[in-house]
């Protein structure tokens, strides 16, 4: 049954109006939805709610600002415009597609073709025409601005030739590269990354095109594809901004630059890397307005936070944060530095690179290429009369030895390592050549962390967990300290939180990230194990005795509080090495 017939059936329009509409529909290329709305016979929301009922499809309204730019490349701009359909979100390989005319056979065939071509499954929901237009503005903004810049570049370089060769663009001078088209294209990419709250931008050469990807909440998403022939020019423009050598493409280079956007200064840390197909650029977006600025915003609290604060108040000793790259270790150290940054405290850092400027802290960038390494910096830092020393990372035995001795001589030393868990810090220090008897004398706490996505607080609801999830949660709860277990006295009928997705979270169910932690305190019992036999299994057993909450347990607690999901906690901690 058509919408016109259903409206007549419900006596919303009379018989004469119905016949008039049917005649108009026969003589125009417009659809019945468009005709009904043009005549103002019903409201758009009422019409599409009715259409949702007739088609048996979910009707959604999505705000344009809640659509991630990264999802838009699933459906090409031209196809989206012609068939009035847009991708709304992607979970694993299932793409939710909003369609204005899901009953259009041509649109259905086009979507089937795209899904086969890009190897994804899809779920269709209904959106209004005005909602589509609002979403398409964002779709348009990235694609259209870049397309306009490409057209301008073509006009600028075109002479008598029909096409522009890759060599012509690759050999463009620094002056030409900085002119409007390429400059505008790079500016558009940077702006969309900042607006979309991306943490990283990847510009990478493929065989026949250039791919631009944004990292959002820890996951990489393709946002844009550019013609391969302009790859060298785009890379050169970024190199100019970063003060890197344009003509050096054989070795990696590092740099940084700053821009002002909406009255805020945004820093970009740039790294170039030579690949078989050309240079790849990675840019870390350092937006101080989005940086977590407290332990609470980071997700660190309870006994773990108490242990960190207690260690930082001691006159000397080491506080080490550990975990894989990108787990938020540096952010944790920065927040710790800010808590220690007082008038009577001299704080000196050695960083590679300096990510954020902290007022009142003496931050220094190491430069290994001229011999200014962490080790050399540590030798000189003691002449600066420091109270607190931060070393970006303990990478080698020389740095480990100097950091230990700095802690022994009356300084608080904070740094990072790469291990899977907190107890792994101790064997790692010994592997780096630190004498076992020096570890308990200097190490105060070891903190391990991961980042999980925050559940959307707008759409979270309580659900009953499946048997496997329930069993896993109960097993983790058993190992918690007694005071924590009392708070989460779970029986066989407990519920957990789940965020199915809404307009505010872009239908993903998540918004932002937070940390999950475990903190090992070096107590007398831990010291005895280190001096006798620093076995990781024994250290883990002692950590459990002293009430250490593991990262997975911390994640489960946060999931029970509705801050994240159980699935997210499992995803992030499943690769953590288990101690047999």
Q: What is the DSSP string of 378-424?
A: HHHHGGG--SEEEES---SHHHHHHHHHHHHTT-EEEEEE--SSSTT
Q: Which of 162-166, 189-193, 530-534 is predicted with the least confidence, judged by mean pLDDT?
A: 162-166
In 156-263 the beta strands, taken as DSSP E runs, fall at 200-205, 209-216, 219-227, 253-261
Query: In this predicted structure, what is the pLDDT of residue 568?
Result: 92
Q: Across residues 368-378, what is the average pLDDT?
A: 90
Most confident region among 19-23, 287-291, 411-415, 511-515 by mean pLDDT: 411-415
> Residue 326 gets which letter from DSSP?
T
Work out the percent of the chain whose per-residue pLDDT is above 70. 89
Distance of alpha carbon 60 from alpha carbon 98, whole angstroms: 8
Q: What confidence tens digit (pLDDT) does each residue in 35-93 have?
A: 888 888 888 889 999 999 899 999 998 877 677 767 887 888 778 888 999 998 888 77
Query: Hey, what are 219's tokens?
Result: 């996951």
Report pLDDT for 503.
62
Model pLDDT, residue 244: 94
Pairing of strands 219-227, 209-216: antiparallel
Q: pLDDT class for 144, splitting at 50, 70, 90?
A: low
How many Cα atoms are found within 13 Å in the side-chain-facing hemisphere of 411? 26
Whether 414 has a pLDDT exceeding 90, the answer reads yes
Yes or no: say if 549 and 481 are a contact pair by the CB < 8 Å rule: yes
Maximum average pLDDT range among 180-194, 218-232, 351-365, 468-482: 351-365
Which of 177-186, 314-323, 324-333 bottoms out in mean pLDDT, i.e. has the lowest? 177-186
Least confident of 151-165, 166-180, 211-225, 251-265: 166-180
Confidence class for position 147, pLDDT limits 50, 70, 90? low
Query: Across all residues in the chain, what is the average pLDDT?
Result: 85
Give the pLDDT band of residue 26 (cuts 50, 70, 90).
confident
**CA-to-CA distance for 279 and 252, rounded, in angstroms?**
9
The yes-or-no verdict on residue 164 having pLDDT over 70 is no
pLDDT beyond 60 at 9: yes
* Least confident window among 396-410, 466-480, 487-501: 487-501
- What's the rounded Cα separation, in Å, for the pair 204 and 197? 20
Distance CA 238, CA 203 (A): 10
Whole-angstrom distance, CA of residue 223 vs CA of residue 205: 14
Distance CA 8, CA 11 (A): 5
Domains plus CATH for the chain?
3-132 (3.30.300.160), 158-288 (3.30.450.90), 295-573 (3.40.50.300)
Q: Is 257 exposed, middle or buried (0-12, 13-18, 19+ CB in 10 A)?
A: middle
> What band does 160 get if pLDDT is binned at 50, 70 and 90?
very low
Task: For the sheet with 388-391, list strands across it.
Answer: 362-365, 347-351, 388-391, 412-417, 317-322, 443-455, 510-521
Map residue 194 onto helix, strand or coil. helix
Top mean-pLDDT range of 178-182, 410-414, 573-577? 410-414
- C-beta separation of 426 from 439 below 8 A: yes
Q: What share of the chain is helix, strand, coil (3-state, %, to 5)?
A: 45, 25, 30
Tens digit of pLDDT for each residue in 236-273? 999 999 999 998 999 999 999 998 877 778 899 999 99
List, in sequence order, every residue forming a beta bridge with 254; answer none if it has no partner. Answer: 271
Specify the pLDDT at position 576.
Answer: 55
Q: State the pLDDT at residue 139.
A: 66
In this structure, the dihedral spanned by the alpha carbons of residues 560, 562, 567 and 570, taken in order and rounded to 10 degrees, is: -50
Can you spell out the DSSP letters for 53-105? HHHT--B----GGGS-GGGGGGS-HHHHHHHTEEEEEEETTEEEEEES-TT-H
Confidence check: pLDDT of 31 > 60: yes
Q: Lowest-confidence range among 129-138, 241-250, 268-277, 533-542? A: 129-138
- At 113, list the tokens: 């073709």
Q: Which residue, among 20, 22, 16, has the nearest Cα to 2 in the 3D structure?
A: 22
Residue 137 has pLDDT above 80, yes or no: no
pLDDT-based confidence at residue 161 (cuts at 50, 70, 90): very low
- Is the pLDDT score of 537 beyond 70? yes
* Mean pLDDT within 465-473: 87
Report d(CA 543, CA 523) in Å as an integer. Answer: 9
- Long-range pairs, 393-396, Cβ under 8 A, ≥24: 393/352, 393/417, 393/418, 394/320, 394/432, 396/432
Look at the block and give the residue holding tokens 């932002």.
Answer: 512
Coil, helix or strand for 535?
Answer: coil
Q: Would you say residue 580 has pLDDT above 50? A: no
Structure tokens at 563: 């801050």
Per-residue pLDDT band at 142 (split at 50, 70, 90): low
* Per-residue pLDDT, 159: 46
pLDDT for 178 equals: 43
Q: Report which secondary-structure segment, H or E, holds 308.
A: helix 302-312
């Amino acid at each position: 049954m058509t919408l016109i017939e259903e409206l007549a059936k419900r006596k919303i329009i009379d018989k004469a109006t119905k016949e008039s509409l049917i005649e108009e529909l026969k003589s125009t290329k417009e659809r019945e939805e468009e005709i009904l709305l043009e005549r103002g016979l019903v409201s758009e929301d009422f019409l599409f709610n009715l259409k949702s009922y007739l088609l048996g499809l979910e009707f959604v309204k999505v705000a344009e600002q809640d659509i991630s730019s990264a999802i838009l490349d699933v459906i090409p701009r031209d196809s989206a415009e012609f068939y009035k359909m847009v991708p709304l979100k992607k979970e694993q390989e299932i793409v939710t597609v909003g369609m204005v005319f899901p009953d259009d056979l041509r649109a259905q065939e086009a979507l089937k073709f795209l899904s086969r071509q890009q190897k994804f499954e899809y779920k269709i929901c209904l959106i209004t025409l005005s909602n589509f237009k609002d979403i398409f503005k964002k779709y348009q903004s990235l694609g259209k601005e870049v397309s306009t810049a490409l057209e301008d570049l073509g006009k600028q370089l075109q002479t008598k030739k029909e096409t522009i060769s890759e060599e012509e663009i690759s050999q463009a001078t620094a002056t030409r590269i900085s002119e409007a088209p390429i400059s505008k294209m790079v500016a558009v990419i940077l702006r969309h990354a900042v607006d979309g709250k991306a943490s990283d931008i990847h510009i990478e050469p493929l065989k026949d095109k250039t791919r631009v990807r944004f990292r959002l909440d820890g996951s990489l998403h393709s946002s844009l594809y550019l013609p391969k022939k302009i790859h060298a020019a785009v890379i050169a423009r970024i190199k100019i901004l970063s003060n890197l050598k344009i003509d050096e493409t054989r070795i990696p280079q590092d740099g940084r630059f700053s821009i002002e956007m909406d009255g805020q200064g945004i820093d970009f840390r740039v790294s170039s890397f030579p690949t078989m197909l050309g240079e790849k650029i990675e840019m870390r977006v350092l937006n101080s307005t989005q940086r977590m600025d407290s332990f609470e915003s980071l997700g660190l609290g309870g006994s773990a936070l108490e242990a960190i604060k207690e260690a930082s108040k001691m006159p000397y000793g080491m506080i080490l944060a550990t975990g894989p790259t990108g787990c938020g270790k540096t952010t944790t150290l920065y927040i710790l530095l800010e808590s220690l940054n007082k008038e009577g405290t001299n704080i000196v850092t050695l960083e590679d690179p300096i990510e954020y400027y902290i007022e009142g802290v003496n931050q220094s960038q190491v430069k290994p290429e001229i011999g200014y390494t962490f080790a050399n910096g540590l030798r000189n830092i003691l002449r600066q009369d420091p109270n607190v020393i931060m070393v970006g990372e303990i990478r080698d035995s020389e740095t480990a030895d100097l950091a230990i001795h700095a802690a022994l001589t009356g300084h608080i030393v904070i740094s990072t390592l790469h291990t899977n868990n907190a107890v792994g810090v101790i064997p790692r220090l010994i592997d780096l050549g630190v004498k076992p008897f020096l570890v308990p004398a200097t190490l105060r706490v070891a903190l391990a962390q991961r980042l999980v996505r925050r559940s959307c607080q707008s759409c979270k609801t309580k659900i009953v967990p499946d048997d496997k999830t329930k069993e896993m949660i109960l097993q983790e709860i058993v190992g918690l300290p007694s005071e924590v277990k009392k708070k989460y006295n779970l029986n066989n009928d407990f519920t957990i939180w789940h965020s199915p997705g809404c307009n505010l979270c872009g239908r993903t169910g998540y918004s932002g990230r937070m940390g999950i932690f475990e903190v090992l305190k070096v107590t007398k019992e831990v010291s005895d194990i280190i001096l006798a036999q620093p076995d990781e299994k024994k250290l883990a057993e002692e950590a459990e005795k002293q009430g250490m909450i593991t990262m997975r347990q911390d994640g489960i607690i946060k999931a029970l509080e509705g801050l994240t999901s159980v699935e997210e906690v499992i995803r992030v901690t499943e690769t953590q090495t288990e101690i047999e």
